[in-house]
Amino acid sequence: MARYASGAPEGLLSAIVPAAVFHDFGKLDAENQGPLSTGRNKSMPWDHVDAGVAHLLGAENEAAAWLVRAHHSPGLPCKTLEESLPQPLRGGRNRDPDEGDHAPLIARVDACLTDYLAKHEKACGHYPVQALDAEALHGLPMRLALSCLVDADHTDSAAYDAGVPAPMPGEDRVAPRWRERLARLEEVVAHKARTAEAQGRAERVRDRGDFFRACLDTPVRDPLATCSGPVGIGKTLSITANLVRRAADEGLRHIFVVAPYTNIITQAVKELRAALVLPGEDPEAVVAEHHHRADFSSPESRDLATLWRAPIIVTTAVQFFETLASNEPARLRKLHELPGSAVFLDEAHAALPVRLWPQNWRWMEELARCWGCRFVFASGSLARFWTIDRIVESRVELPDLLGATAESRDLQSRLVEREGDRVRYVCLGEGMTVDALCERIDSAEGPLLVILNTVQSAAVVARRLRENGVDVLHVSTALCPRDRDRILRRVRARLRLERMAGRCGSGGTDGERLRKWTLVATSCVEAGVDLSFRTAFRERASAASLIQVGGRVNRHRERGGGIVYDFTFFPGEAGITQNREWKYAQHVLQEMLDDDKVNDRDPADVVTDAIRYELNAQTRFVETLIQAERARDYPSVAKNGRLIDDDTALVVVDEELRERLERREKVSSTTLLRLSVQIRRERVKSLGLAEIPSRREIYAWGGRYDPEFLGIMDDILAQKQFESQGCEVV
Identify which has the larger pLDDT, 188 or 645.
188
Q: What is the pLDDT confidence band of residue 296, given thresholds at 50, 70 and 90?
A: very low
Question: Cα separation of 82 and 97, whole Å?
Answer: 9
For the chain, percent of residues with pLDDT exceeding 70: 90
Question: Cα separation of 150 and 16, whole Å?
Answer: 10
The residues, ordered by sequence, that sit 6+ positions from 362 with a Cβ below 8 Å of its Cβ are: 393, 626, 629
Residue that terminates a domain, selected from 379, 401, 418:
418
> For position 202, what pLDDT does the model report?
64
Identify which has the larger pLDDT, 62 or 596.
62
Cβ distance 460 to 713 under 8 Å? no
The pLDDT of 496-510, averaged and rounded, is 69
Q: Does residue 176 have a cis bond before it (omega within 30 degrees)?
A: no
The pLDDT of 493-508, averaged and rounded, is 74
Q: Looking at 441-455, 598-612, 705-719, which range is the least confident one?
A: 598-612
Residue 196 has pLDDT above 80, yes or no: no
Asked if residue 452 and residue 414 are part of one domain, the reply reads: no
Strands 695-700 and 690-692, sheet pairing:
antiparallel
Q: Which domain holds residue 550?
A: 421-622
The pLDDT of 223-251, averaged and rounded, is 90
Length of the chain: 730
Residue 464 has pLDDT above 60, yes or no: yes
Question: Cα separation of 360 and 495, whole Å?
Answer: 38
Asked if residue 244 and residue 317 are part of one domain, the reply reads: yes
Q: Tell me, yes or no, whether 725 lies in a domain.
A: no
The pLDDT of 194-219, averaged and rounded, is 79
Q: Tell me, yes or no, whether 150 lies in a domain.
A: no
Query: 457: phi > 0 → left, psi -120 to 50 → alpha, else beta; which?
Result: alpha
Residue 727 has pLDDT above 50, yes or no: no
Q: What is the pLDDT confidence band of residue 300, given thresholds at 50, 70 and 90?
A: very low
Asked if residue 387 and residue 253 are part of one domain, the reply reads: yes
Residue 510 has pLDDT above 50, yes or no: yes
Residue that terminates a domain, selected from 387, 418, 449:
418
Asked if residue 84 and residue 54 are part of one domain, the reply reads: yes
CA-closest candidate to residue 241, choices 316, 311, 177, 189: 189
Asked if residue 333 and residue 236 are part of one domain, the reply reads: yes
Asked if residue 183 and residue 35 are part of one domain, the reply reads: no
Question: Cα separation of 629 and 622, whole Å?
Answer: 12
Residue 630 has pLDDT above 90, yes or no: yes
Residue 730 has pLDDT above 60, yes or no: no
CA 714 distance to own-chain centroid: 26
Cβ distance 264 to 527 under 8 Å? yes
Asked if residue 703 and residue 634 are part of one domain, the reply reads: yes
What CATH number corresponds to the domain at position 519? 3.40.50.300
Residue 700 has pLDDT above 80, yes or no: yes
The residues, ordered by sequence, that sit 6+ positions from 651 with a Cβ below 8 Å of its Cβ are: 676, 677, 678, 679, 684, 689, 698, 699, 700, 701, 712
Q: What is the pLDDT confidence band of residue 349, given thresholds at 50, 70 and 90?
A: confident
Question: What counts of helices (H) and strands (E) characterise the chain?
Answer: 29, 16
- At 67-121, the pLDDT tens digits run 999 998 789 999 999 998 889 999 998 887 776 678 999 999 999 999 999 999 9
From residue 137, give the alpha-carbon distance in Å to each of 9, 12, 73, 143. 6, 7, 20, 9
Asked if residue 251 and residue 215 are part of one domain, the reply reads: yes
CA 48 distance to own-chain centroid: 34
**Total number of domains in the chain:** 4
Q: What is the pLDDT confidence band of residue 294, given thresholds at 50, 70 and 90?
A: very low
Q: What is the pLDDT confidence band of residue 301, given thresholds at 50, 70 and 90?
A: very low
Q: Tell me, yes or no, whether 360 lies in a domain.
A: yes
Asked if residue 120 and residue 76 are part of one domain, the reply reads: yes
> For position 654, what pLDDT does the model report?
95
> For position 508, what pLDDT does the model report?
59
Extended beta strands in 618-673, E state: 648-652
Query: Residue 295, Cβ neighbours under 10 Å: how many?
Result: 23
Cβ distance 210 to 413 under 8 Å? no
Q: What is the pLDDT confidence band of residue 511, given thresholds at 50, 70 and 90?
A: low
Q: Tell me, yes or no, whether 84 lies in a domain.
A: yes
Question: Cα separation of 586 and 541, whole Å?
Answer: 5
The rounded mean pLDDT for the chain is 87
Q: What is the pLDDT confidence band of residue 725, given thresholds at 50, 70 and 90?
A: very low
Cβ distance 48 to 27 under 8 Å? yes
Cβ distance 612 to 646 under 8 Å? no
Asked if residue 269 and residue 355 are part of one domain, the reply reads: yes
Q: Tell me, yes or no, whether 674 lies in a domain.
A: yes
Q: What is the pLDDT confidence band of residue 264, given thresholds at 50, 70 and 90?
A: confident
Q: What is the pLDDT confidence band of residue 666, given thresholds at 50, 70 and 90?
A: confident
> For the residues of 404-464, what is the DSSP string, one character each?
SSHHHHHHHHHHHHHHTTSEEEEE--S-B-HHHHHHHHHHS-SSEEEE-SBHHHHHHHHHH
Residue 168 has pLDDT above 90, yes or no: no
Cβ distance 496 to 519 under 8 Å? no
For the four alpha carbons of 276, 280, 284 and 285, in that order, the dihedral sign comes to negative
CA-closest candidate to residue 299, choices 160, 457, 471, 487: 160
Q: Tell me, yes or no, whether 251 lies in a domain.
A: yes
> For position 581, what pLDDT does the model report?
77
Q: In degrees rounded to 5, what are phi and psi of residue 344?
A: -105, 105
Q: Tell me, yes or no, whether 244 lies in a domain.
A: yes
The pLDDT of 570-581, averaged and rounded, is 86
For the four alpha carbons of 667, 668, 669 and 671, in that order, the dihedral sign comes to negative
> For position 191, what pLDDT does the model report?
85
The residues, ordered by sequence, that sit 6+ positions from 570 with a Cβ below 8 Å of its Cβ are: 431, 432, 433
Query: Under DSSP, is residue 244 helix (H, G, I), strand (E, B) or coil?
Result: helix
> For position 417, what pLDDT does the model report?
64
Q: Tell me, yes or no, whether 265 lies in a domain.
A: yes
> For position 729, what pLDDT does the model report?
37
The pLDDT of 390-397, averaged and rounded, is 87
> For position 208, what pLDDT does the model report?
84
The residues, ordered by sequence, that sit 6+ positions from 493 with a Cβ below 8 Å of its Cβ are: none
> For position 505, what pLDDT does the model report?
59
Asked if residue 239 and residue 193 are part of one domain, the reply reads: yes
The residues, ordered by sequence, that sit 6+ positions from 547 with a Cβ below 8 Å of its Cβ are: 381, 425, 598, 603, 606, 607
> For position 724, what pLDDT does the model report?
41
Asked if residue 501 and residue 398 are part of one domain, the reply reads: no
> For position 506, what pLDDT does the model report?
57
- Given strand 287-290, what is the order of strands in its sheet? 224-228, 374-379, 342-345, 255-259, 312-316, 287-290
Question: Cα separation of 23 and 73, whole Å?
Answer: 13
Q: What is the pLDDT confidence band of residue 302, given thresholds at 50, 70 and 90?
A: very low
Burial class (CB in 10 A: 0-12, 13-18, 19+), 44: middle
Residue that terminates a domain, selected from 395, 418, 441:
418
